[in-house]
Amino acid sequence: MSVVAIGSTPTIDSMRLLGFEVVMVPEKLSESVEEEVISRVVESRVVIIEEPVYSQVSGKLRRLFTFLREPPLLVVVPSMKQPSTRRLE
């Protein structure tokens, strides 16, 4: 089972202590980095992703998840710069 944490701030790095593979990305995602993030999400079983990163790829992920038989568990967490998420709004 692959577990991945994706974020742009150093706090996401602490997920290594829990056994997550950590993927650091820039705050503003380029097209190629977006594709890498989406690829990592689809290949994983559990993904923790920071809100600023999620907001940039959420549209593509929603469309893609409709075609996946077993989509990953996706947990959106706040970042240091954004202390809350808009996931449930």
Which mean pLDDT values do the consecutive 10-residue runs of the chain (89 residues) have?
Answer: 89 90 93 93 94 92 91 88 61
Which 3 state secondary structure label does DSSP give 69? coil
pTM of the model: 0.85
Topology of the domain comprising 3-77 = Rossmann fold (3.40.50)
Q: By C-alpha distance, which of 29, 31, 40 is closest to 74?
A: 40
Q: What are phi and psi of 44, to 5 degrees?
A: -105, 165
CA distance 6 to 13: 9
- Other CB atoms within a 10 A radius of the CB of residue 76 amount to 17
Classify the C-alpha dihedral 41-89-7-3 as positive or negative. Answer: negative
Which 3 state secondary structure label does DSSP give 85? coil
